Amino acid sequence: MQSTLLQNFIGGRSVAAHGEGRMDLIDPVTEQVYGQAPISDQSDIDAAYASAAAAFPLWRDTTPAQRQLALFRIADAMAARAEEFADLESKDTGKPRANLVADEIDQSVDQLRFFAGAARSLEGRAAGEYMAGHTSYVRREPIGVIGQVTPWNYPLNMAVWKIAPALAAGNTVVLKPAESTPLTTLLLAEIVAEHTPAGTLNVVLGDRSTGAALVAHKTPQMVAITGSVRAGMAVAESAAADVKRVHLELGGKAPAIVFPDASIAKAAEGIVTGAFFNAGQDCTAATRVIVHASVHDALVKALVERVRTHARTGAPHEEGVFFGPLSSAAQLAQVQGFVDRLPAHAVIETGGRRQGDVGYFFEPTVVSGMRQDDEAVQNEIFGPVLTVQTFEDDDEALAFANDVPYALAASVWTTDHARSLRFSRDLDFGCVWINTHIPFVSDMPHGGFKHSGYGKDLSQYGFDDYTRIKHVMSALD
């Protein structure tokens, strides 16, 4: 881990990649290179899958109690090394260091502990005699070897979201982290190897070509990705050639719908947190406000005031920083491009440009006067930009909210209980929050519809997605 050139983790140990390509790891705060990662080639992918395939019978045949104990020990080891994980995550991403343990590392520990409990739920159903002289039952089994790809916005969280349910169910894994943020995933792999058979979790580093090879490989029976819609579509197309099971958690364009009866102060507080946490680099970010015209001006004023007092961006160890830089020069250019292309009717209420000359920092930005067909309303910006548009009645609010390609998350801000129930029913999103935005718990599912993908992370539903169902029928004589 301390070497300038990182290594893959295959078969329970760090190994040099065969691929000769190299990628610079760039600190998004300083724009300086702090290390290199290999671009793994086909031979590296082959080795990782061979290791996972060899480990599968050993891990599959452990009892649920043994897998539970292993995951509890992994969680305890992560908790014991929380500060180390936080240091590495902050280095890779530039996230504020002060709250990183509480915001992300502790969540990962809790998710491991949740799935440790789920490991003992790998059970089928007793059926009965549906045909004379025969009895049936249903087994729930692990799928086998799983290929996984994780993103750069929450490197450790997303790795745990993928790895924990897969291992709890008795599968083995080959995972490729995002090319720019591999450090915490490699540390996690070292810990997992201490408590599982060699090859249960394998990590290969690389770029998109490595990810494509991982997905196209003949060994995995399932592939799972958290990433962009474009990447998810490519994964689904590749996996279709072998009819692999596919699990996709993709982009989002979450609306925050604010009604006249809502508390403007509470809505502004919750929306600013939901919009600018992690620099808006979150598929569930509250990226577009849809507010009743009668309270538009009051909400915009409250949003701007809240941004200026509570949404400061800066380096990881600066005091009072709420979010850090964008992940890369490319991401900075993408966000700036959306702002530069705003239509003439848009009003930049605050922000709108890069902050400083060094680091990929972008000012928290609020844009009012938006219309439903505007690019910044329809497409995922994935940065600290919040758009605001108005509606006149409930039907229009619902139509605006649902009229995007994404369907991951939404929030409704109202004190009318009946209205909140109607909107939770009619909003076409995988998660609907009422008078809050962005909190997660390990016990509840996360996943979307439409271009946001399919399959669930977290919860018992996430565990079930890494299992298969088998019917067994036996003659009684």
Q: How far apart are CA 105 and CA 95, in angstroms?
A: 12
Same domain, 292 and 202: no
How far apart, in whole angstroms, are the C-alpha atoms of residue 170 and residue 150? Answer: 20
Q: pLDDT tens track of the chain, all 477 residues?
A: 444 899 999 999 999 999 999 999 999 999 999 999 999 999 999 999 999 999 999 999 999 999 999 999 999 999 999 999 999 999 999 999 999 999 999 999 999 999 999 999 877 777 888 999 999 999 999 999 999 999 999 999 999 999 999 999 999 999 999 999 999 999 999 999 999 999 999 999 999 999 999 999 999 999 999 999 999 999 999 999 999 999 999 999 999 999 999 999 999 999 999 999 999 999 999 999 999 999 999 999 999 999 999 999 999 999 999 999 999 999 999 999 999 999 999 999 999 999 999 999 999 999 999 999 999 999 999 999 999 999 999 999 999 999 999 999 999 999 999 999 999 999 999 999 999 999 999 999 999 999 999 999 999 999 999 999 999 999 999
249 is catalytic: yes
Same domain, 68 and 189: yes
Asked if residue 301 and residue 153 are part of one domain, the reply reads no
Q: Does residue 111 sit in the same domain as residue 170?
A: yes
Q: From CA 254, how far away is CA 438, in angstroms rounded?
A: 10
Identify the CATH number of the domain in which residue 278 sits.
3.40.309.10
Catalytic entry in 89, 249, 349, 363: 249
Same domain, 327 and 366: yes
* Whether 361 and 300 share a structural domain: yes
Helix (H) or strand (E) holding 454, with range, is strand 453-454
| Number of domain units in the chain | 2
In terms of residue numbers, what domain contains 389? 255-441
Q: How far are the Cα atoms of 93, 149, 182, 273, 328 from residue 28, in angstroms, in the given order? A: 7, 22, 14, 22, 6
Q: Say if 46 falls within a structural domain.
A: yes
Are 281 and 390 part of one and the same domain?
yes
- Indicate whether 139 and 17 sit together in one domain: yes
Domain assignment present for 447:
no
The answer to whether residue 172 sits within a structural domain is: yes
Residue 2 lies in a domain: no
Q: Is residue 161 in some structural domain?
A: yes
Query: Is 1 among the domain residues?
Result: no
Cα–Cα distance for residue pair 239/246, rounded to 1 Å? 7
Which H or E run contains 112? helix 106-118
CATH number reported for the structural domain that contains residue 179 in this entry: 3.40.605.10
Query: Is the domain of 465 the same as that of 426?
Result: no
223 and 274 belong to one structural domain: no
